[in-house]
A and B are shown apart, each in its own frame.
Chain A
Amino acid sequence: MEYFVQQMINGITLGSIYGLIAIGYTMVFGIIGMVNFAHGDVFMLSTFIALIFLMALTQVLGLGSLAVALFVVLILGMLLTSLWAWVIERLAYRPLRGSFRLAPLISAIGMSIFLSNLVQVTQGPRNKPVPSILGEVITLSGGDTYPVTLSYKQIMIVVVTALLLVAFWYVVQRTSLGRAQRACEQDRRMAALLGVDVDRTISLTFVMGAALAAVAGLLFMTYYGVVNFNDGFVPGVKAFTAAVLGGIGSLPGAVLGGLLIGLIETLWSAYFSIDYKDVATFSILAITLVFLPSGLLGKPDVEKV
């Protein structure tokens, strides 16, 4: 039983990270109907950015307070990752925004390849271990067989995710930016005719998604303790699975999907086989798409005859 609870805790933590990345996928797909293949690699980039700034602050500048360091790294990471996403959108996607769907897709795939190789070339192909921080744990149950621990990192991840979800939900539902986004999602041309700055709205959507990915990147880096240039593809696909599972276009759906994927992956590895955990995730993606394309919280997409 304790083992199960521990796996649940781990699963929810992992799921929160997936959820944060998934929001980026779902928002971009909702507004321009495109799967941003490069999003996973933007996430990977943010893990490196977080690592480098953390090291710069703690080692080079000798900043003592960990909390301050993490906070500064968070802000800087969000800013710079958003900058990258903004540039990528302007250069690789905006010129191709039109009716031909495949061109932006290929461009996105190319961008993804470019990013992961850029990091490989500039940072080296090997795993980079992260200096250990925030190692404290709370022991929840002192059971003899298996102590259930809840680490500060895990608390931080879940709390941050929940806060961000609420914040972004508020933005989408209550602010004018959110309204503009929803208008663009439904009918871009009409929104433009009504005075919505479509380009800016789309750019901001990318930026928001990237900012969340940056948060996920920082959390990922501190939690797993190792970063690698290859970490873009698989977490990216899993996060996309989460977005689809939750219903593409739905923000709470993305987080819900993320939690589910995280739980499934963790429980599968714990109880069945760690080798096939990715097969399980991809199979869920396939099954969801075949039987429930609109996902759990999404709206079905009907073509008018």
Chain B
Amino acid sequence: MSTAMDAAATRPMATAKLAAALKDALGTALLTLGLAVPILALRTEQNISNELILQPRWGYVAIAVALAFSARFLYLVAPAAPARPRMLSLPRGFGRVLSAVLLMVLLLYPLIALALTGKAGAVKWIDNFGIQILIYIMLGWGLNIVVGLAGLLDLGYVAFYAVGAYAYALLATSDPVKSFMADWIGAGFWPLWAFWICLPVAGLMAAFWGILLGFPVLRLRGDYLAIVTLAFGEIIRLVLINWVPVTNGYAGVSGIPRPSFFGLPFNDSEGGFAAVFGLEFTPLYRTIFLFYLIVALALLTNWVTLRLRRLPIGRAWEALREDEIACRSLGINTTNTKLTAFAIGAGFGGFAGSFFAARQGFISPESFTFMESAVVLSIVVLGGMGSQLGVAIAAFVMIGGTEILRELDWLKRIFGPEFEPTQYRMLLFGLAMVLLMIWRPRGLIAFRAPSIFLRERRLVRAEMVKEGHG
């Protein structure tokens, strides 16, 4: 008898709920209309006489409103999602196994790409995807030391990336250095070995720059540190644009020597890599070499970070993030601790920068905007601060995701030939940033592994871990 009564009771409740959902969705639709009216509805265009006119696009507005209405309605009437488990209870060592598997895939990736897309396609897949993602992974791991481990909010990381790139580029293309090397060792030496010599130099310069920059600003707290680092990043970019005699301004630096295979150039000459190894020349070799090079650099960053975490300096970084005053009361010189985090993070950024310059052969200030800092920071936060694996996954998702958009030409068939997916790249990127933060504010890998344990390594939930106040 009670079930019949319940059934009778739930039916008006269900319709009431439906009615409420309809009203709410209608409200959302109206809201969307209000948002869309100025920007979406009327487009400012210049007609033939170069005057500004308005083009009505009410069709798009209708689509947007309809989408908002249905999305909201469905969201409200959908059955409640099951409660998310508080923490994924993964089997022990899962992270390790996963990392090992990913590493294997990474090392075999060029061969996989070759097999699947042939020589022509492989260059694009290895370069635009593989190398691009790996550069961001390395940048993410570098910034992870500063933001994730030490809790210093750095919004100007691109500055170190730029210093590394320009240091390498200017050093490698500088005439005095070239002629010095030619006189001292021999004419052919510098173009072949420039990369290997300049790479560490560029990294050290970036680290030095990090110390220089860090000194005055590291006593600032939280948001203020973030803004100052952002300002520095912008200052660097503006100086690069305007200091034309040195940096060539917008025109950038070109003719940057490419890396050689330890002395063997990647061209089709007699002494080139292909000829020496008895292979047919193809630009693929250099691409593959660059790929393994960035893999090596990234893995080096990773290894150093993991080692440092287990050393006093790394623990001091994390303790700094947790409570700076407590650190000082234990005799830790937090200024030096911050400086080392900043400098080491900057150094890795510089390495990534010089690799970038070598891979491109040409750099300009447009590659070093605030957007880059924002992207790298999002990768670190999204990954789950302090987690190496998380950062790698986040980089893969975000960079890979936006690069994939370039491949979606088939969408043109649906939306018409004027549809350019790349236009929407950054739009979706921004949207993804917001949505991912709402979904996982603590990042994908929401726990921290202790660097030392007595009996067993128990993971610390992300909510316990502080984010640092600079």
Contact = CB atoms under 8 A, between A and B. Distances in A.
Q: Is the interface of B mostly helix, strand, loop or mixed?
A: helix
Nearest to A55: B54
A186 interface: no
Contact of A52 (B44, B382, B438, B467): B44
Contact of A123 (B43, B427, B441): B43
A98 B427 contact: no
B42 interface: yes
Which residue among B44, B46, B437, B442 has the maximum number of chain A CB atoms within 10 Å of its CB?
A: B437
A101 B222 contact: yes
Given A49-B38, A102-B153, A305-B325, A109 B226 contact: no
A147 interface: no
Given A52-B42, A122-B39, A123-B44, A110 B31 contact: no
B300 to A, nearest CB: 27
B431 interface: yes
Given A55-B44, A56-B42, A121-B423, A279 B378 contact: no
B35 interface: yes
B127 to A, nearest CB: 25
A109 B374 contact: yes
A101 B467 contact: yes
Given A55-B54, A279-B239, A106 B40 contact: no
Contact of B427 (A96, A103, A117): A117
A110 B442 contact: no
A95 to B, nearest CB: 5
Contact of B37 (A80, A112, A289): A80
A133 interface: no
A49 to B, nearest CB: 4
A96 B441 contact: yes
B34 A285 contact: no
B371 interface: yes
Contact of B374 (A55, A95, A113, A241): A113
Contact of A114 (B370, B371, B431, B441): B431
Interface stretch (A124-132, A149-157, A195-203, A263-271): A124-132
Interface in A82-118: 83-84, 87, 91-92, 95-96, 98, 100-107, 109-115, 117-118
B225 to A, nearest CB: 8
Interface residues of A, number: 70
Q: Is the interface of A mostly helix, strand, loop or mixed?
A: helix
Contacts of A101: 222-223, 467
A145 interface: no
A107 B227 contact: no
Which residue among B230, B238, B381, B434 has the maximum number of chain A CB atoms within 10 Å of its CB?
A: B434
B429 to A, nearest CB: 6
Contacts of B433: 106-107, 109-110, 113-114
A256 interface: no
Interface in B191-232: 216-217, 220-224, 226-228, 230-232
19 contacts: A29-B223, A33-B223, A45-B39, A52-B44, A55-B54, A56-B42, A100-B442, A101-B467, A102-B147, A103-B441, A106-B378, A106-B433, A111-B434, A113-B374, A122-B40, A126-B46, A286-B228, A289-B220, A289-B224
Which 5 residue pairs spanning A and B have beta carbons closest together?
A110-B433, A113-B430, A114-B430, A103-B441, A117-B427
Interface of B: 31, 34-35, 37-40, 42-46, 51-54, 147, 153, 216-217, 220-224, 226-228, 230-232, 234-235, 238-239, 241-242, 325, 370-371, 374, 377-378, 381-382, 385, 423-424, 426-427, 429-434, 437-438, 441-442, 467
Given A106-B382, A117-B426, A123-B39, 4 more contacts: A33-B223, A109-B377, A130-B52, A279-B235
